[in-house]
Amino acid sequence: MLMNALIVGFVVALAKFLDWWFSSQLSRPIFIVALLGILLGHPTEGIILGAQLELIFLGNVNLGGVMPSDFTLGSIFGGAFAMILGSKIETAIALAVPISLLGTLIYTVMKMVITSLVPRFEKHIKDKNIKAFNRLWSLQFWGFELVYFLLGFISIMVGTNAIKALIEAIPTWIQSSMTVAATMLPAIGIALLLKMLWEKSLIPFYFLGFALGAFFTYDKATDGRLTKGAVALTTAPTKMLSLIQIAFIGFIIAALVVMAELRHNNNNKQTATETVDSNDESEDFFND
Amino acid sequence: MTNPTETKVLSTKLDKKERKLLWKLFWRSNYLMFCASYTKQQGITYSWVMEPFLENIYGKGTDAFYAAMARHQDFYNTNTGMNNFIAALTISMEEENKLATDNGTPFDETSISALKTALMGPLAGIGDSVYLSVIRVVATGVALGLSQQGNILGPILFLVVASIPNALIRWFGGVLGYKSGGAFISKAMKSGSFNAITKGCTVLGLIMTGAMTAQFVTFTTTFSQKIGGTEFNLQQILDSILPGLLPLTLTMLCFAYLRKHNRPVRALLTVFLIAIILTVLGITG
């Protein structure tokens, strides 16, 4: 059990590192649960579990610095419990979702602690003490990693069954409302992005993006059944344009805006002064 | 480093010293997202990332060094993959600042912060959508089938497909930012072409943020009631008015709140509370 606990603790800390370092995407379940499986000695189960958990958390992303659900923590614990106990994939999933929601709360508390340290960082620079500044930064970094290591280590040591009982003790109405909350929370990340991008004259473009993303849907057939000689199709509304396709359209619109702006600048300059040497320079910038 | 009188400013050839500097930035910039706070987001760590470069420019422990460090502790938040471009640009501007003060010509230091603020928003919007919906989705798509069969190639392919474009964006972002340099940017700023470019980036960022609202925020009601024999399905009615009405409304409310009061934690807890109330009432679920 000690070995398992050390491995899970290490993987949780590593995942928290990879979450942010290099924006590597390697804390996604498809990679990190596979790695966990290899370390725990269940490589094939780990890889398959990783794929299953990835499918569940596919829509969960951290946007604008907001973490709506800690799918990393949830899938590592779910995967670890299932592999250690030798239980089914369903167990992993049943544990992963509530743990990922509890993880959000842990993260929020951690970020509040970090926020409380900000004035200290500022003070060290004001006092011209770069050594203390660096020390505090390292302390914060390693403290953050240590908390997650201990979280993984202790959870496995305390006993997988105890954790399972704890999760099961959470009433279903709380569990289901937390699932609802996790899908709503990206709104805050987007609101933070929007705050940085806010410019009155350009805001219609936000709604254009929304329209492209939301309005074009089609009913995708998910299931077909033969009833009374006729085929009854089950359909689900599906978004027609992917974000990649919207980015393509968005790029065209942005290019048009830039060109119009450059032309406008040039016209202004030509009327203001007779020297038109700035003409080639702006074109240079655009060509590059 | 960048000579303002040089005619071809945007050459991407690097000498040995520049390559070393950008290589260092490439590794150090990876830590930007660590220790992000609610008040400054990545601001404190941004100054930590800049530390060795500023030390190089202004000298260890000098007043100018600490002034620069304080300058870079301001609120900062962007997509970390896009940071290399901004950070490299900032380094080259700081170098110019040092050169200008040595020569006794004034350099407007506020322009450095202004540039950071102008770039972080648009690049966050573009970068988030590139990383979350292009790189991540493509890598997952490539790996998922293999992983489902328990094939070790799945996670390996995921690692490779996700990392290569990421590394390229970071490296060439840094090169571009450093080589374009402050002199070039401020020249472009005066001629207005810089504004045109940031405007274009903001437009693309806004379109992508709108699209992400539609595709990442899920807020649907499950409320349905039989009234006089006909089924009354609230979500169907809302969809017929405007698809995605609820996610859009929620995002707008969050935005209005955060714009007025900068309290993300309170917004977070409020959304939690709303979710609990609505679920208990049986409106969502």
Burial B139-177 (b: 16+ CB within 10 A, else e): bbebbbebbbebbeebbebbbebbbebbeebbeebbbbb
pLDDT in tens, B138-176: 899 889 889 999 999 999 999 999 999 999 999 999 999
pLDDT in tens, A121-135: 999 999 999 999 999
pLDDT in tens, A235-267: 777 788 888 889 899 999 999 999 999 998 888
Closest CB to B279 among A28, A134, A173: A173
Mean pLDDT of chain B: 87
Q: Which residues of B touch A109 (CB under 8 A)?
A: none
Give pTM, 2 decimals.
0.84
In this prediction the ipTM stands at 0.85
What is the C-alpha to C-alpha distance for residues B51 and B69, in angstroms, rounded to an integer?
Answer: 7
What is the C-alpha to C-alpha distance for residues A248 and A24, in angstroms, rounded to an integer?
Answer: 24
A140 in reach of chain B (CB within 8 A): yes
Give the model's pLDDT for residue A279: 47
Q: Where are the beta strands (DSSP E) in chain B?
A: 224-227, 230-233
| Nearest chain B CA: its distance from A3 CA (Å) | 23
Q: Which residues of A touch B69 (CB under 8 A)?
A: 125, 130, 133
Interchain contact, A66 vs B248, CB within 8 Å? no
With beta carbons less than 8 A apart as the criterion, state whether B37 and B44 touch.
yes
Q: Which residues of B touch A20 (CB under 8 A)?
A: 31-34, 80
What is the C-alpha to C-alpha distance for residues A190 and A63, in angstroms, rounded to an integer?
Answer: 7
With beta carbons less than 8 A apart as the criterion, state whether A150 and A9 touch.
yes
State yes or no: pLDDT of A69 exceeds 80: yes
Q: Can you list the alpha helix ranges (DSSP code H) found in B29-152?
A: 43-58, 63-71, 83-103, 110-129, 136-148
State yes or no: pLDDT of B92 exceeds 80: yes
pLDDT in tens, B31-84: 999 989 988 899 999 999 999 999 999 999 999 999 999 999 999 999 999 999
Give the model's pLDDT for residue B165: 93
Cα A22 to Cα A16, A45, A137, B38: the distances in Å are 12, 28, 18, 21
State yes or no: pLDDT of B222 exceeds 50: yes
At A274, is the pLDDT very low, low, confident or very high (cuts 50, 70, 90)?
low
Give the model's pLDDT for residue B8: 44
Give the model's pLDDT for residue B11: 62
Q: What is the mean pLDDT of residues A175-201?
A: 86
CA B282 from centroid of its chain's CA atoms: 37
Q: Which residues of B touch A50 (CB under 8 A)?
A: 147, 154-155
At A35, is the pLDDT very low, low, confident or very high (cuts 50, 70, 90)?
very high
| Share of residues in chain A with pLDDT > 90 (%) | 45
Q: What is the mean pLDDT of residues B7-18?
A: 69
Interchain contact, A190 vs B211, CB within 8 Å? no
